[in-house]
């Protein structure tokens, strides 16, 4: 029988990393995600699987170690929280341009600046619209349970290698620090060198029986750089076509829709319980992938519901994508709290009533 | 069944561990559980609180405005959370260091002199187990034997010799709690 454990989201992520056959973790501590590296140090995977766990001298170093590991076709990852993820943006842009697979975890805290250590979702724009320079996208997964903090490691690697693209898990202080039940995924062995070569013919695995593989994000000739951009954009369209994921919660008979991700979606489910007790038919659309965004699903809902309400721990970021999808056909409201304050289910319901139901 | 509980006090009082033991015990009874700490820069002397939800069904929000059971172990926590007990709910407080008694009349208020009793018995370190014993006496949200199993799970093995003292503290807690 599978064993049910009780652990924090950050701990579940670390356990899942080891079990995913990860080759290397490179990080630098920051609240509220420090348990990731702490757990890895406790697990000592280097003794069992040979996985490297390394505390770099800074976030910038850590992301560049990820860049190098990924160039070798290795399963590598880093984790941080908002200010630390800002420091990684240059490296992320390079990794996206060089088309390398890797996994990045952001356990968001309140900003801007050094901000606060309490939960936030104000890095949505940074995560889905770029963050670093240039036209690129990460695939962005938003866990809303401790179970998903574990499950999205495997899913993240699967997508990262399928599309040769960095994958970001966009979590927050609630999901990282909360303990819940979790069933950890089974152990996968780390890939052998032969398996890495077979899976990643593009990687710098040693020039034996083939031409040079060169990993770079630099192309001084504009025509070459434009061709890279065209290829990247085609890939992003393919990702938008194939990889949209979302959860529908009580939407079948819904008149109104909360759109929320991560811990805000949990709060909205609570608000649905309160609303339905008052006879208001509300459901929740929870985007699981923030890029690609469930635009088509929202368009479909817009044909049959009376209005939308985006609930976020920010000043209103994802709501812009909801509005783009709805395209003016139905009212779209927004309610959020900032700086580490978590909106309550009561506040979310009140906002729906005052802004949309009226 | 769904029980929404918050335990609040000073850092160092064992507030988070108490919540952890409840959560582990709930897990062993096959319940859905969430354990959500206020993870501010709480050290010894700062304020700390933890929300624990035990439920037969999947839990939506791990954070709430109103609670079935509120345990407050210092005056700032009483001031903050007395108003957040659901009508008909339970408020448990330790009078040590408190400057006033709870004022609400629409809730069930219990007093547990856990600090004084633990100190008198030379058991100051198991203070939180007296409180937990009191809580389980007034509302047995989890079974006592599951709590002992939960404690075993949440304590590092090197501390397992302390299990009997913790069990004794918990039983004593059930004796010293009184309804106002």
Q: Look at A266 and B62 and tell me if their CB atoms are within 8 Å.
A: yes
In the predicted model, what is the mean pLDDT of chain B?
A: 93
Cα–Cα distance measured from residue A79 to residue A38, given in angstroms and rounded to the nearest whole number? 12
3-state helix, strand and coil shares in percent for chain B, rounded to the nearest 5: 45, 25, 30
Dump pLDDT digits (tens) for A218-254.
999 999 999 999 999 999 999 999 999 999 999 999 9
Q: At what angle do helices A295-302 and A318-326 cross, to 10 degrees?
A: 50
- Tokens standing for residue A159: 């997508």
Reported as half-sphere exposure (CB side, CA atoms, 13 A), residue A213 has a value of 19
Q: Look at B63 and A177 and tell me if their CB atoms are within 8 Å.
A: no
Cα–Cα distance measured from residue A347 to residue A330, given in angstroms and rounded to the nearest whole number? 22
Percent of chain A residues past pLDDT 70, beyond the cut: 100
Dump pLDDT digits (tens) for B87-102.
999 999 999 999 999 9
Partner residue facing A32 (CB), from B23, B39, B153: B39
Q: Look at B63 and A342 and tell me if their CB atoms are within 8 Å.
A: yes
Q: Is A336 helix (H, G, I), strand (E, B) or coil?
A: strand
Residues in A closer than 8 angstroms to B40, CB to CB, are 117-118
Q: Look at A345 and B33 and tell me if their CB atoms are within 8 Å.
A: no
Quick one: average pLDDT of A275-296?
Answer: 98
Domain residue extents for chain A: 4-197, 246-357
pLDDT value at B41 more than 80: no
Identify whether the C-beta of residue A260 lies closer than 8 Å to the C-beta of residue A254. Answer: no
pLDDT value at B149 more than 90: no
Percent of chain A residues past pLDDT 90, beyond the cut: 98
Domain residue extents for chain B: 2-179
- Name the pLDDT band for B12 (thresholds 50, 70, 90): confident
Identify whether the C-beta of residue B96 lies closer than 8 Å to the C-beta of residue B84. Answer: no
pLDDT value at B45 more than 70: no
Q: Is B17 helix (H, G, I), strand (E, B) or coil?
A: helix
Residues in B closer than 8 angstroms to A346, CB to CB, are 65
Closest chain A residue to B34 measured between Cα atoms?
A180
Cα–Cα distance measured from residue A168 to residue A170, given in angstroms and rounded to the nearest whole number? 6
- Name the pLDDT band for A209 (thresholds 50, 70, 90): confident
Q: Which CATH architecture has domain A246-357?
A: 3-Layer(aba) Sandwich (3.40)
Quick one: average pLDDT of A49-73?
Answer: 98
Say if residue A292 is preceded by a cis peptide, omega within 30 of 0: yes
- Name the pLDDT band for A1 (thresholds 50, 70, 90): low
Closest chain A residue to B42 measured between Cα atoms?
A117
The residue among B20, B39, B42 with the most chain A CBs within 10 A of its CB, best to mutate, is B39
Cα–Cα distance measured from residue B74 to residue A202, given in angstroms and rounded to the nearest whole number? 61
Instruction: Calculate the alpha carbon distances from A208 to A194, A205, A213, B68 in Å.
Output: 12, 8, 11, 67
Residues in B closer than 8 angstroms to A4, CB to CB, are 27
Q: Is B12 helix (H, G, I), strand (E, B) or coil?
A: coil
Please tell me the predicted confidence (pLDDT) of residue B42: 55
- Tokens standing for residue A281: 């038919």
**Any idea which fold B2-179 has?**
Pyruvate-ferredoxin Oxidoreductase; domain 3 (3.40.920)
Q: Between chain A and chain B, how many beta carbons pairs sit less than 8 Å apart?
A: 63
CATH class of A4-197: alpha beta
Dump pLDDT digits (tens) for A103-114.
999 999 999 999
How far does Cα B180 stand from its chain's mean position? Answer: 18
Quick one: average pLDDT of A24-35?
Answer: 97
Q: What is the rounded end-to-end Cα distance, in angstroms, of chain A?
A: 51
Nearest by Cα to A24 from A83, A91, A88, A72 = A72
Quick one: average pLDDT of A174-191?
Answer: 97
């Amino acid at each position: 029988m599978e064993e049910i454990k009780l652990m924090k989201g950050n701990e579940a992520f670390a356990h899942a990393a080891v079990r995913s056959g990860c080759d290397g973790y490179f990080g630098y501590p920051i609240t509220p995600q420090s348990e990731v590296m702490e757990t890895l140090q406790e697990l000592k995977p280097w003794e069992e699987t040979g996985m490297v766990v390394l505390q770099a001298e800074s976030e910038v170093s850590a992301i560049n170690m990820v860049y190098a590991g990924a160039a070798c076709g290795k399963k590598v990852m880093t984790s941080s929280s908002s200010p630390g993820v800002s420091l990684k943006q240059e490296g992320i842009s390079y990794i996206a341009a060089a088309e390398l697979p890797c996994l990045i975890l952001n356990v968001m805290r309140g900003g801007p600046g050094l901000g606060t250590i309490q939960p936030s979702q104000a890095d949505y724009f940074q995560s889905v619209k770029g963050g670093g320079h240039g036209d690129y996208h990460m695939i962005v997964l938003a866990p809303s349970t401790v179970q998903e903090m574990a499950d999205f490691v495997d899913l993240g690697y699967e997508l990262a290698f399928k599309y040769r693209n960095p994958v970001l898990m966009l979590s927050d202080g609630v999901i990282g620090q909360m303990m819940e039940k979790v069933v950890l995924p089974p152990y996968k062995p780390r890939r052998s060198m032969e398996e890495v070569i077979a899976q990643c013919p593009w990687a710098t695995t040693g020039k034996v029986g083939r031409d040079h593989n060169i990993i770079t994000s630099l192309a001084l000739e504009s025509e070459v750089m434009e061709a890279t951009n065209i290829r990247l954009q085609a890939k992003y369209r393919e990702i938008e076509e194939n990889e949209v994921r979302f959860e529908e919660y009580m939407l079948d008979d819904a008149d109104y829709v909360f759109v929320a991700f991560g811990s805000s979606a949990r709060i909205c489910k609570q608000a649905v319980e309160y609303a339905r007790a008052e006879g208001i038919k509300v459901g929740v659309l929870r985007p699981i992938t923030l890029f690609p965004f469930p635009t088509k699903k929202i368009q479909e809902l817009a044909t049959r519901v009376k209005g939308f309400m985006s609930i976020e721990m920010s000043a209103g970021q994802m709501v812009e994508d909801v509005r783009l999808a709805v395209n003016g056909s139905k009212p779209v409201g927004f309610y959020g709290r900032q700086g580490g304050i978590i909106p309550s289910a009561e506040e979310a319901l009140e906002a729906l009533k005052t802004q949309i139901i009226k | 069944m769904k029980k929404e509980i918050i335990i609040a006090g000073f850092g160092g009082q064992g507030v988070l561990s108490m919540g952890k033991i409840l959560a582990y015990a709930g897990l062993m009874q096959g319940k859905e559980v969430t354990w959500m700490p206020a993870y501010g820069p709480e050290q010894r002397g700062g304020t700390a609180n933890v929300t624990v939800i035990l439920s037969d069904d999947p839990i939506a929000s791990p954070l709430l405005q109103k609670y079935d059971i509120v345990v407050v172990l210092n005056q700032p926590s009483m001031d903050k959370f007395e108003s957040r007990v659901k009508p008909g709910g339970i408020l448990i407080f330790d009078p040590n260091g408190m400057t006033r008694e709870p004022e609400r009349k629409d809730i069930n208020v219990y007093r547990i002199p856990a600090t004084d009793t633990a100190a008198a018995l030379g058991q100051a370190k198991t203070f939180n187990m007296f409180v937990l014993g009191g809580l389980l006496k007034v509302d047995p949200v989890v079974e006592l034997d599951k709590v002992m199993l939960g404690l075993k799970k949440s304590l590092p093995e090197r501390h397992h010799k302390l299990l009997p003292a913790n069990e004794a503290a918990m039983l004593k807690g059930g004796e010293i709690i009184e309804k106002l």
